[in-house]
Amino acid sequence: MADLYALRSKNRLYYVLLAIAGLVVLAGLYAVHMMESHGHIITGMNNQIVWGLPHVFAIFLIVAASGVLNVASIGSVFGKAIYKARAPLASLLSIAMLAGGLTVLMLDLGRPDRIIVAATNFNLTSVFAWNVVLYSGMFSLVIIYLWTMMERRMNPWNKTAGLAVFAWRFILTTGTGLIFAFLTARQAYGSAILPPMFIVLSFAWGLAVFHVVQTVIYAWNEKTLDADILRRKKNLLGVFIIGSLYMVTIYHMTNLYFAHKSAFENFILRDGGVFPDMFWWGYIVIGNLLPLLLIYVPGLGKAKCVMAASLLVVLGALSLLYVFIIGGQAFPLDIFPGFEVKSTFGDGQIASYHPSIYEFLLGIGGLAIAFVITTVGVRVLDFMPHDKPYVAD
Amino acid sequence: MSDHDTQRRQFLKTSLGAAAVAIAPGMLLFDTAHGKTEADSSKVRWGMLIDTAQCKTGCNDCVTACNKENGLSGGTLPTDSQWMRKIDIKDISSGRETSLPMMCQHCEEPPCVDVCPTGASFKRADGIVLVDRHRCIGCRYCMMACPYKARSFVHEPLHDQKPDVPRGKGTVESCTLCVHRVDKGQQPACAQACPNKAILFGNLNDANSEIAQKLRSVASVQIRADMQLNPGIRYQGL
């Protein structure tokens, strides 16, 4: 009877969690309603900081949605059994985060009611328009990929679908990086290193999210992840963190080397107040060094350490995106190189940005959408990884 | 020919006639409303030559005229639309100070048009870069891409708009080179308002126009010429 009681209270807890997430989604929709009726004046965004907190959340979700599929690709494309067992969960997470991220991006538009215009008018030179195709294509492909895994008769197509998803997500994250890489006039952006940087970042962020969700699912079902599997996944996460740290370092080093970008680098890395703080403490220490310690220091690296490391990687990701997106716009655009400038429109001045509660609610609403899709998906379909007795492959 | 056929022909003739009568006044009105259509042709490239030596620090007449003409509030909060602004610049090495108006530079290769997902940002055949307010979804990518920070996003609901200058909350806007005036054969409001005649407006493609002749005789620069966007607005004395 005690078991039944425990089961019932767990069931109740499930619905409570779902209801809380539902309320967060509703709060996000309320924020959208407010932004729709009052305009973006109620956000902290302005004519200098045109993309704000919603974009930080949205880009995190979209980049992580692509990266989480790495788990599936290692299974389907490279044939590793322990990853293959996790491909369905990875695909579900990808769909969930893509849905959350795209919802935030769409609802932050000045005219979200005109989304049909975006769907029917394509400017072929616009990387935004390409991304509309890339995101919707990704959605459909991952659904097909899931179908080939979960429907036995479709199994023969699994490898093909896996390959297609593998290729598509590389192109998709390239597209996300290109949004910034094509902004040639801005000191912070306009660099060919951004698409590969986003791809490597996506690996680390996606795996971190995957690990958090997997740990929660195992705990919920009172199961323990095989120690060997945990070791392999934690080492992979470590490698991805080192890889992303490398890419971010190269991005800043190249900028530092260019004389015309050194003022921007001094701002973002040293003098820019909240931005260097978030970069060094938020991204480098919390998002990289601490996770690496938790993973690699002898005696650490247990399940709880890896879970903590994964959560820290997510926090670091949000810090990095805040610095990259908002810090990148806060630094004044250099319209007159070699001149001191001033005007009524913020020329030559560091732009200020104070995110409002509405932007925060919209961003968190996106996370909640991803949470709802994942929890409902895991509840109604079989996304639990089924490991065969472990064989090193 | 059967009686039936004759009736049908008669019916078709009458319908066509009725349709023509119904459409004709509309077509005429449409033509009238559009004014001169020859302005929008690739034979013309509208541009400006701004003589910074004649532009006085502290004088804001062009900006005021722009705001009045286009129904802008004239506010200078970070969320207010500023289609045109005065920038005071100081050469760091020599200390020489200059003042100049800055607005959409009406590039031949406009980055805003390249990045716009829906094609709302577009360039007319005569070189004027505009935003189609019915197509703009308010993504602000063009604002990120513009090297001159020439665009503003409408952050609040608008009231009392000018009939010639449609605007809308949630869309992006910028200097239209007073396209509604130019199409009527007039000068942009800023050029007309400048007390020192520092802004010379005209057709860059017409070798005999005043602006083309002056561009041949004086040294002028394009701002951020390194980006090779070939803006239609040129500056003299920088």
Tell me the pLDDT tens digit for each residue of B141-162.
999 999 999 999 999 999 989 9
**Residues A292, A308: Cα–Cα separation, whole Å:** 11
Q: Which two tokens stand for residue A255?
A: 């900028």
**Residues A206, A367: Cα–Cα separation, whole Å:** 14
Interface test with A, best of B137, B142, B156, B235 (most A CBs within 10 A): B137
Q: What is the mean pLDDT of chain B?
A: 92
Residue B37 has pLDDT above 50, yes or no: no
Give the pTM: 0.91
Nearest-by-Cβ selection for B76 from A179, A189, A344: A344
Q: Which three-class secondary structure state does DSSP give residue A75?
A: helix
Secondary structure percentages of chain B, helix, strand, coil, to 5: 30, 20, 50
Q: What is the pLDDT of residue A3?
A: 81
Distance from CA of A69 to the nearest CA of B (A): 27
Q: How far is CA A269 from CA A59, A151, A201, A322, in A?
A: 22, 51, 19, 13
Contact A42, A35 (CB under 8 A): yes
pLDDT class of B191 with cuts at 50, 70, 90: very high
Distance from CA of A222 to the nearest CA of B (A): 45
Q: What is the pLDDT of residue A19?
A: 97
Length of chain A: 393
Closest to B199 in 3D by CA, of B184, B220, B230: B220
Residues on chain A touching B93 (C-beta within 8 angstroms): 338
Q: What is the pLDDT of residue A2?
A: 60
Q: In this complex, do A50 and B140 lie within 8 Å of one another by their Cβ atoms?
A: yes
Buried residues in B209-226 as b, exposed as e (16+ CB within 10 A): bebbebbeeeebebbbee
Chain B from 27 to 56: CB within 8 A of any A CB: none
Q: Which two tokens stand for residue A242?
A: 């080192």
- What's the average pLDDT block by block, 10 residues per block, for chain A (393 residues)? 80 94 98 96 97 97 96 84 89 97 96 92 94 94 94 89 94 96 92 96 97 93 88 93 97 92 95 96 97 92 91 98 97 94 95 96 97 94 78 57
Residues on chain B touching A179 (C-beta within 8 angstroms): 141
Q: How many CB pairs under 8 A join A and B?
A: 168
Q: What is the pLDDT of residue A182?
A: 94
Closest A-chain CA to B227: A185
Q: What is the pLDDT of residue B29?
A: 63
Q: What is the pLDDT of residue A300?
A: 85
Residue with tokens 């979960």: A150
Residue B63 has pLDDT above 70, yes or no: yes
Chain A from 19 to 38: CB within 8 A of any B CB: 38
Nearest-by-Cβ selection for B118 from A121, A329, A347: A121
Q: In this complex, do A347 and B87 lie within 8 Å of one another by their Cβ atoms?
A: yes
Domain at A22-380: CATH architecture? Up-down Bundle (1.20)
Q: Which of A6-10, A283-287, B34-38, B203-207 has the lowest mean pLDDT?
A: B34-38
| Domain residue extents for chain A | 22-380
Q: What is the pLDDT of residue B152?
A: 97
**Residues B238, B235: Cα–Cα separation, whole Å:** 7
**A183 has a chain B CB within 8 A of its CB:** yes
Q: Which three-class secondary structure state does DSSP give residue B86?
A: strand
Q: Note the pLDDT tens digit of each residue in B50-60.
A: 999 999 999 99
DSSP code of residue A113: G
Q: In this complex, do A185 and B91 lie within 8 Å of one another by their Cβ atoms?
A: no
Q: What is the pLDDT of residue B32?
A: 57
Chain B from 125 to 144: CB within 8 A of any A CB: 135-141, 143-144
With a threshold of 0.90, tell me whether the complex ipTM lies above it: yes
Q: What is the pLDDT of residue A387?
A: 77
Nearest-by-Cβ selection for B135 from A117, A347, A352: A117
Residue B192 has pLDDT above 80, yes or no: yes
**Of B125 and A389, which is predicted with more confidence?**
B125
Helices (H), chain B: 3-34, 61-70, 111-115, 141-145, 179-182, 189-193, 210-217
Q: Which three-class secondary structure state does DSSP give residue A342?
A: strand
